[in-house]
Amino acid sequence: MVKLIVLIVIAIVFIVLAFMMYSGKGDKFIAGYNTMTEEERAKVDIKRLRLLMAITCVVSALFVGACYMLEDRGRNAMLIAAGCFVAFTVVIVILANTWAKKK
């Protein structure tokens, strides 16, 4: 029961972060963006980057829930879920470095 409560709290934190990112209040939580110079920030489309980070937070919350549900189905199910999450992360990193840049 404690494990479920911890996972729910983690998922809620991710959802709250997603709302913060999407509303524009979470720029300081975007790794790398808060350490950029003003010239580097001018090259980033912050609205697209916020959208990507909000989507990442929502998918992370869903992944936490999926891990709880897949726990009883064995190791293979967890490995498949983790592989999907890694693939999603690679896609987000690529999009953050291409789609979220100003042209």
pLDDT at 82: 93
Predicted confidence (pLDDT) at residue 103 exceeds the cutoff of 80: no
DSSP state of 44: B
Alpha helix ranges (H) inside the chain: 2-23, 38-41, 46-70, 75-98
- Distance in angstroms (rounded) separating the CA atoms of residues 57 and 21: 9
CB 44 within 8 A of CB 33: yes
Residue 54 lies in a domain: yes
The number of domains in the chain is 1
Residue 31 lies in a domain: yes
pLDDT (tens digit per residue) in 24-64: 999 989 988 989 999 999 999 999 999 999 999 999 999 99
Nearest partner of 85 among 74, 70, 100, judged by Cα = 70
Predicted confidence (pLDDT) at residue 1 exceeds the cutoff of 90: no
Q: Which domain holds residue 30?
A: 2-98
Residue 71: pLDDT band with limits 50, 70, 90: confident
- Distance in angstroms (rounded) separating the CA atoms of residues 23 and 8: 23
- Distance in angstroms (rounded) separating the CA atoms of residues 60 and 62: 5
Residue 103 lies in a domain: no
Predicted confidence (pLDDT) at residue 8 exceeds the cutoff of 80: yes
Residue 19 lies in a domain: yes
- Distance in angstroms (rounded) separating the CA atoms of residues 6 and 24: 27
Q: What is the pTM of this model?
A: 0.89
